[in-house]
């Protein structure tokens, strides 16, 4: 895991707009390049990988380094690192004590070192995970509720500042007063959100340590833009434009709702050159394209991990393949690898996909891994799905480089070619345990069937029982059915039953 | 210092798909260093084989497994027979192709799982009868089925189906029946084996803890001239003293120029002692299973990374370890993993389990690599003493079974 030998550019972070949106063009999409000292340069539009507890789920740091060339950055939530175990409530979170890397590795900041994140990858830190679990108690004027593995706790603006000081992420998003709920906040709440965030961000810039100490590796600030109407937060945005954009303290914008962008850009021209990172979690590539058209440069996409956990391999490309004249049906955005039709398929997940899963393995293996609930299945899907997204963004950039019309045209073709939603995965998911999955209200139904149970008819789940009876009734495959009748009717303890037929039937031929 | 005790001329033996080169023998103990060349390349013995039960080594990629230095891993016939099943294996073209593994694979016969996983399995002369763990369907595993499946899997080493009985069973008559049946089943397995030119069948010596029965079994099995020989039925809860006696009794009888595989052994002490007793190959799920429980194997013993004492420990999992997790970050391919990071994610993110799996597999493989070097330099007794000295605070705490087993092959652990 060697770091780039090239010398860092003079400025800590530079964002170049290679092709700006043209005034009155049908799209505000733009082409850019984000460069940070010591990190891989990121061409935009692009996406950063979402993490859980400092890791891209299922991927060890060496796999991230070797197999995630399309991923230039990761998003981490501070709440993943600051739990207080009950018997050690007084301890300071260990991550704050991460020793500095050797001078030769000055690009490895504390957050990189603690999470063993490859040096080439940019780290973005926010206070909360993405998506954040809504807190039962609201925020106060100086604290917000965060959810750690030991429960909800308060994070003060002061501690957050201290954390950034200790961890030195490349990019940080100051605390924002968010509800983290799907429903739109009331206007009273929205006003308070804007006021509080305004105050917190003002405090932030006043105390930002790297501003005072030029020896510290700089941390770029991406100011939060709230998921409330422009009219409710214009005062806050105006402050960003007037006070912090001119002084270069403000390096970018973190959008919790991309729809504020049109108003924001038309009102504050000096915010336009800043990179825009969307944290609004678009759920499909169609949503991503829409946000790109609004002018978003960077994304964090929590849906990718959910897709991998569901046993899906993404299969879309941008621009889409030319439509087949024979077929008028829409193409799926992904395929379900749990489907038995893939059991003997030696083809890659997606033809000509350059990822590790597609070049070194095939569908049959991944289908087997999912059915056997082997963790490697999700590892390979994560690798592939991140690669598909990386190619998708590369396609978007190529189209944008050819001009707004070419991009618009490709977008139209994309939405005409692909289904609007991702398919649902039918396979069993990895065990979803842990605090980050808790939801409000009643506990959700168990996602997976129990793996083992008592022998005998009671063990059969109702649906299976019916299936079996159906097979027997229909008389299909007489020999098979006969054995199944035996299976159902003889006592399971009577292992000597009908051995001759079983011998013909063979080992491991589970009748179903 | 390579050829201090190098044998005057390397002794070799070949069968259709296996070549065995005996490189060096310890002048004190029965330890041997050798090279076993299989259809998918050579492997150095003594050797630990990690267990990729269902064609995947618990969460790590074949590429990462290769990086640990592994060139021979296990798959379980029983599990692959259930998932993905023989038809899929035939269609895909075997387990190597299924899992993208370019190196060697060994498969067990499936018999051990019948007995260990399935309480209701019964053994008859025909085969092992059991109920499907999925739906209770009665099924039957015969020697012919097992070999047919292993032929479909295409593993480089396949194991005969044997009649496995817990060694602690007091029923001597049943034990004798199992031993004799294992010999008869070996004949059926050899007859059923379709690919003797690309897959090596190993016999499995049974006979419980009765040394005479073991010796008798050795004679019968050796007479059938399989490319390699396994000692089975151990690691089932017998006393360590008994285990060592059985291994020693068997290796004494076995020909020099065949690999000897003690099945189901994985604790570092067991490996080091068994090598001294003349065994070459070992397998066990323990290193990878314990990794998933948050345990790291080190030369000073096992560390549970979930303990609070590691929360702010920014050292590597094991100082001086050469695995991809522990090597300093400056080195190519190193990750710079700290104990604090493993602690942070142990039991919370699968990545922590993957990292410890990489570390533990590397530890086991490296332990055997170092043992092999010591044998070649004819310093194995010193190696064994150093190993135990690192693991235990003082001589008084050395396990007595190890002391007496090693005394039997000329090492006095307690001497100063």
Which tops the pLDDT comparison, A450 or B383?
B383
B111 labeled binding residue = yes
Residue of B nearest to A461 (CA): B135
Peptide bond into A131 cis (omega under 30): yes
Q: Which residues pair with A19 in a beta bridge?
A: A31
Task: Choose among A291, A287, A266: nearest CA to A277.
Answer: A291
Minimum-distance CB partner of B100 among A101, A105, A360: A360
A 10 A CB-CB count for A286 gives: 17
In chain A, residues with a C-beta closer than 8 Å to the C-beta of B100 are 360-361, 365
Q: How far is A373 from chain B (nearest CA, A)?
A: 9
CA A385 to CA A310: how far, in whole Å? 12
Length of chain A: 512
Residue of A nearest to B345 (CA): A53
B187 touches chain A (CB under 8 A): no
Mean pLDDT in consecutive groups of 10 residues from the start of chain A, 512 residues = 39 87 80 94 97 96 93 96 85 91 81 94 96 90 93 93 92 94 88 96 84 68 96 95 92 95 93 96 96 97 94 96 82 95 96 95 97 95 97 97 93 95 84 58 63 58 44 39 39 45 48 38
Look at residue B118 and tell me whether its pLDDT is greater than 70. no
Q: What are A202's two structure tokens?
A: 């003002």
Question: Are residues B314 and A97, on separate chains, in Cβ contact within 8 Å?
Answer: yes
Residue of A nearest to B100 (CA): A361
Binding positions of A for Zn(2+) are: 353, 355, 358, 384
| Residue B47 contacts residue B265 (beta carbons within 8 Å) | no
Query: Between helices B268-276 and B240-253, what is the axis angle to 10°?
Result: 30
Burial of residue A229 (CB within 10 Å: 0-12, 13-18, 19+) is middle
pLDDT tens digits along B45-84: 999 999 999 999 999 999 999 999 999 999 999 899 989 9
Reported confidence tier of residue B121, pLDDT bands at 50, 70, 90: confident
B108, B156, B163, B280: the active-site residue: B108
CA A506 to CA A307: how far, in whole Å? 37
Query: Between helices B350-376 and B268-276, what is the axis angle to 10°?
Result: 20
Q: How far is B102 from chain A (nearest CA, A)?
A: 11
B350 touches chain A (CB under 8 A): yes
Question: How would DSSP label each residue in A7-73?
Answer: PPPSSSEEEEEEEPPPTT-S----EEEEEETTS--EEESEEEEE-BTTB-TT--HHHHHHH-TT--E
pLDDT tens digits along B28-51: 999 999 999 999 999 999 999 999
Question: Are residues A116 and B88, on separate chains, in Cβ contact within 8 Å?
Answer: no
CA B9 to CA B109: how far, in whole Å? 36
CA A247 to CA A202: how far, in whole Å? 13
- For residue A90, the model assigns a pLDDT of 81
| Phi, psi angles (nearest 5°) of residue B20 | -120, 120
| Selected residue of A5, A62, A81, A96 to mutate for chain B interface (largest B Cβ count, 10 A) | A62
B210 has catalytic annotation: no
In chain B, residues with a C-beta closer than 8 Å to the C-beta of A367 are 84
Contacts of A288 (CB under 8 A, 6+ apart): A47, A282, A299, A301, A392
Angle B272-B22-B204 from CA coordinates, rounded to 5°:
65
H-helix or E-strand spanning residue A471: helix A462-474
H-helix or E-strand spanning residue A144: strand A143-148
- For residue A442, the model assigns a pLDDT of 55
Tell me which DSSP letter residue A303 carries: H
SS (H, E, C) A253-273: EEECCHHHHHHHHHHCHHHCC
Task: Choose among B370, B375, B364: nearest CA to B72.
Answer: B364
Question: Are residues B330 and A374, on separate chains, in Cβ contact within 8 Å?
Answer: no
| Residue B82 contacts residue B134 (beta carbons within 8 Å) | yes
CA A158 to CA A147: how far, in whole Å? 18
Question: Are residues B83 and A371, on separate chains, in Cβ contact within 8 Å?
Answer: yes
| Residue B329 contacts residue B277 (beta carbons within 8 Å) | no
Contacts of B11 (CB under 8 A, 6+ apart): B21, B22, B256, B257
Binding positions of A are: 353, 355, 358, 384
Note the pTM of the prediction, 2 decimals.
0.90
Q: Which residue has the tokens 């010398």?
A: A7
B345 touches chain A (CB under 8 A): yes
Peptide bond into B84 cis (omega under 30): yes
pLDDT tens digits along B399-416: 999 999 999 999 999 986
Burial of residue B247 (CB within 10 Å: 0-12, 13-18, 19+) is buried
Burial of residue A271 (CB within 10 Å: 0-12, 13-18, 19+) is buried
CA A210 to CA A480: how far, in whole Å? 73
Which tops the pLDDT comparison, B159 or A459?
B159
Minimum-distance CB partner of A62 among B82, B100, B333: B333
B156, B280, B283, B378: the active-site residue: B283
Residue of B nearest to A118 (CA): B335
CA A300 to CA A310: how far, in whole Å? 19
Minimum-distance CB partner of A116 among B137, B333, B336: B336
Question: Are residues B341 and A510, on separate chains, in Cβ contact within 8 Å?
Answer: no
Question: How would DSSP label each residue in B110-140?
Answer: SHHHHHHH-TT-EE-SS-EEEE-TTT--EEE
Task: Choose among A325, A505, A307, A275: nearest CA to A423.
Answer: A307
Minimum-distance CB partner of A53 among B59, B126, B345: B345
B64 touches chain A (CB under 8 A): yes
Reported confidence tier of residue B8, pLDDT bands at 50, 70, 90: low
Among A386-395, B163-172, B235-244, name the one with the lowest average pLDDT.
B163-172
Task: Choose among A292, A403, A414, A409: nearest CA to A44.
Answer: A292
Question: Are residues B139 and A101, on separate chains, in Cβ contact within 8 Å?
Answer: no
CA B96 to CA B104: how far, in whole Å? 8
- For residue A483, the model assigns a pLDDT of 39
Dihedral sign for Cα atoms in the order A225, A230, A231, A236: positive
| Residue A138 contacts residue A145 (beta carbons within 8 Å) | yes
Minimum-distance CB partner of A105 among B87, B92, B329: B329
Task: Choose among B84, B58, B81, B82: nearest CA to B70.
Answer: B58
Sheet (strand A42-44) strand order? A13-19, A31-36, A42-44
In chain B, residues with a C-beta closer than 8 Å to the C-beta of A339 are none
Look at residue B290 and tell me whether its pLDDT is greater than 80. yes
In chain A, residues with a C-beta closer than 8 Å to the C-beta of B58 are 374-376
Angle B127-B182-B259 from CA coordinates, rounded to 5°:
125
Residue A478 Cα distances to A271, A481, A484, B215, angstroms = 74, 5, 10, 49
Instruction: Provide the CA A289 distance to its chain's centre, in angstroms.
Output: 16
Q: Which of B165-196 are b and which e, b meaning 16 or more Cβ less than 10 Å from the residue's Cβ?
A: bebeeeeeeebbebbbbbbebbebbbebbebe
Peptide bond into A303 cis (omega under 30): no
- For residue A325, the model assigns a pLDDT of 76
Question: Are residues B61 and A113, on separate chains, in Cβ contact within 8 Å?
Answer: no
- Half-sphere exposure in the Cβ direction for B261 (13 Å, CA): 27
In chain A, residues with a C-beta closer than 8 Å to the C-beta of B150 are none
| Phi, psi angles (nearest 5°) of residue B247 | -60, -45
Burial of residue A384 (CB within 10 Å: 0-12, 13-18, 19+) is buried
Look at residue B209 and tell me whether its pLDDT is greater than 60. yes
| Residue A511 contacts residue B137 (beta carbons within 8 Å) | yes
Task: Choose among A299, A300, A185, A180: nearest CA to A233.
Answer: A185
CATH code 3.20.20.105 region(s) in chain B: 11-284
CA B122 to CA A495: how far, in whole Å? 8
Contacts of B308 (CB under 8 A, 6+ apart): A85, A87, A88
Question: Are residues B135 and A149, on separate chains, in Cβ contact within 8 Å?
Answer: no
Which tops the pLDDT comparison, A323 or B368?
B368
Q: How far is A13 from chain B (nearest CA, A)?
A: 25
Question: Are residues A97 and B324, on separate chains, in Cβ contact within 8 Å?
Answer: no
3-state secondary structure of A301: coil
Q: What are B233's two structure tokens?
A: 């039925």
Residue B164 Cα distances to B59, B128, B144, B312, B366, angstroms = 30, 10, 17, 47, 31
CA B365 to CA B379: how far, in whole Å? 19
Minimum-distance CB partner of B138 among A108, A344, A495: A495
Question: Are residues B351 and A483, on separate chains, in Cβ contact within 8 Å?
Answer: no
B329 touches chain A (CB under 8 A): yes
In chain A, residues with a C-beta closer than 8 Å to the C-beta of B138 are 486-487, 490, 492, 494-495, 497-498, 502
In chain B, residues with a C-beta closer than 8 Å to the C-beta of A87 are 308
In chain A, residues with a C-beta closer than 8 Å to the C-beta of B338 are 113-114, 116
B90 has catalytic annotation: no
In chain A, residues with a C-beta closer than 8 Å to the C-beta of B75 are none
Question: Are residues B138 and A487, on separate chains, in Cβ contact within 8 Å?
Answer: yes
Minimum-distance CB partner of A58 among B122, B336, B351: B351
Architecture of domain B11-284: Alpha-Beta Barrel (3.20)
Minimum-distance CB partner of A98 among B83, B314, B337: B314
| Residue A197 contacts residue A239 (beta carbons within 8 Å) | no
- Chains A–B, number of C-beta pairs less than 8 Å apart: 233
Length of chain B: 416
Task: Choose among A475, A472, A471, A484: nearest CA to A511.
Answer: A484
B23 touches chain A (CB under 8 A): no
Question: How would DSSP label each residue in B163-212?
Answer: ----TT---HHHHHHHHHHHHHHHHHHHHH-S-TTTSEEEEEE--TT-HH
């Amino acid at each position: 895991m060697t770091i780039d030998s090239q010398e860092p550019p003079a400025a800590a972070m530079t964002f170049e707009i290679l092709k700006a949106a043209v005034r009155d063009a049908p799209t505000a999409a733009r082409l850019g390049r984000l460069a940070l000292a010591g990190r891989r340069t990121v061409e935009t539009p692009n996406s950063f990988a979402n993490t859980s507890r400092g890791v891209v789920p299922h991927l060890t740091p060496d796999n991230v380094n070797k197999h995630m060339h399309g991923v230039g950055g990761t998003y981490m939530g501070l709440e993943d690192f600051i739990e207080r175990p009950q018997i050690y409530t007084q301890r300071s979170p260990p991550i704050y004590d991460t020793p500095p890397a050797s001078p030769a590795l000055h690009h490895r900041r504390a957050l990189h070192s603690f999470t063993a994140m490859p040096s080439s990858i940019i780290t973005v830190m926010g206070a909360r995970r993405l998506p954040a679990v809504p807190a039962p108690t609201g925020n106060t004027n100086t604290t917000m509720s965060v959810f750690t593995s030991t429960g909800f706790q308060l994070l003060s603006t002061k501690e957050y500042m201290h954390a950034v000081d200790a961890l030195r992420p490349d990019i940080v998003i100051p605390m924002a007063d968010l509800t983290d709920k799907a429903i739109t906040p009331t206007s009273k709440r929205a006003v308070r959100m804007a006021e509080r965030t305004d105050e917190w961000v003002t405090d932030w810039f006043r105390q930002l340590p790297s501003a005072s100490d030029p020896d510290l590796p700089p941390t770029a600030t991406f100011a939060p833009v709230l998921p409330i109407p422009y009219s409710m937060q214009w005062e806050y945005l105006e402050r960003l434009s007037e006070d912090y954009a001119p002084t270069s303290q403000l390096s970018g914008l973190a959008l919790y709702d991309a729809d504020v962008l049109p108003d924001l850009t038309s009102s504050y021209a000096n915010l336009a050159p800043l990179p825009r990172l969307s944290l609004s979690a678009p759920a499909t590539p169609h949503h991503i394209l829409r946000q790109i058209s609004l002018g978003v440069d960077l994304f964090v996409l929590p849906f990718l991990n959910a897709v991998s956990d569901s046993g899906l391999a993404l299969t879309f490309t941008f621009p889409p393949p030319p439509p087949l004249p024979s077929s008028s049906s829409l193409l799926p955005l992904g395929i379900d690898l749990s489907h038995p039709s893939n059991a003997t398929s030696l083809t890659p997940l997606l033809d000509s996909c350059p990822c590790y899963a597609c070049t070194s393995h095939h569908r049959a293996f991944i289908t087997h891994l999912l059915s056997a609930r082997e963790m490697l299945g999700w590892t390979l899907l994560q690798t592939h799905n991140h690669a598909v997204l990386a190619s998708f963004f590369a396609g978007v950039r190529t189209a944008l480089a050819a001009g707004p019309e070419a991009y618009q045209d490709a977008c139209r073709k994309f939405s005409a070619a692909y289904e609007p939603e991702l398919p649902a995965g039918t396979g069993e998911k990895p065990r979803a345990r842990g605090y980050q999955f808790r939801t409000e209200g009643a506990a959700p139904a168990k996602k997976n069937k129990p793996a083992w149970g008592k022998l005998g008819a009671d063990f059969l789940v109702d649906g299976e029982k019916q299936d079996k009876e159906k097979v027997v009734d229909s008389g299909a495959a007489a020999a098979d059915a006969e054995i199944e009748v035996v299976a159902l009717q003889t006592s399971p303890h009577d292992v000597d039953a009908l051995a001759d037929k079983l011998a013909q039937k063979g080992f491991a031929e589970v009748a179903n | 210092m390579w050829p201090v005790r190098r044998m005057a001329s390397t002794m070799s033996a070949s069968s259709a798909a296996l070549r065995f080169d005996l490189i060096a023998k310890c002048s004190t103990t029965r330890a041997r260093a050798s090279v076993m060349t299989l259809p998918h390349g050579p492997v150095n013995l003594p050797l630990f084989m990690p267990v990729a039960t269902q064609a995947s080594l618990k969460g790590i990629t074949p590429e990462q497994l290769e990086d640990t230095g592994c060139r021979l891993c296990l798959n379980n016939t029983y599990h692959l027979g259930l998932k993905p099943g023989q038809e899929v294996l035939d269609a895909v073209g075997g387990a190597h192709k299924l899992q993208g593994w370019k190196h060697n694979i060994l498969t067990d016969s499936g018999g051990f799982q019948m007995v260990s996983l399935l309480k209701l399995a019964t053994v008859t002369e025909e085969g092992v009868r059991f109920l499907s763990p999925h739906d209770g369907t009665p099924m039957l595993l015969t020697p012919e089925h097992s070999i047919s499946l292993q032929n479909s899997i295409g593993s480089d080493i396949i194991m005969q189906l044997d009649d496995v009985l817990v060694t602690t069973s007091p029923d001597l008559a049943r034990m004798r029946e199992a031993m004799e049946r294992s010999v008869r089943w070996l004949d059926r397995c050899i007859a059923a084996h379709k690919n003797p030119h690309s897959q090596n069948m190993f016999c499995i010596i049974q006979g419980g803890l009765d040394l005479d029965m073991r010796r008798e079994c050795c004679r019968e099995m050796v007479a059938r001239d399989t490319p390699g020989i396994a000692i089975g039925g151990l690691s089932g809860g017998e006393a360590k003293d008994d285990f060592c006696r059985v291994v020693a009794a068997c290796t004494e009888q076995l020909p020099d120029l065949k690999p000897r595989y003690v099945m189901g052994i994985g604790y570092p002490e067991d490996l080091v002692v068994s090598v001294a007793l003349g065994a070459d190959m070992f397998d066990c799920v323990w290193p990878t299973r314990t990794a998933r429980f948050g345990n790291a194997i080190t030369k000073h013993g096992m560390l549970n990374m979930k303990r609070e004492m590691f929360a702010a420990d920014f050292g590597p999992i094991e100082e001086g370890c050469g695995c991809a997790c522990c090597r300093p970050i400056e080195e190519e391919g190193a990750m710079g993993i700290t104990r604090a990071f493993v602690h942070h994610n142990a039991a919370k993110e699968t990545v922590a389990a993957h990292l410890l799996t990489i570390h533990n597999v590397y530890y086991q493989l490296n332990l055997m690599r170092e043992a092999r070097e010591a044998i070649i330099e004819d310093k194995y007794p010193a190696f064994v003493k150093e190993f135990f000295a690192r693991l235990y605070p003082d001589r008084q705490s050395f396990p007595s079974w190890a002391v007496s087993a090693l005394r039997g092959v000329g090492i006095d652990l307690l001497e100063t």
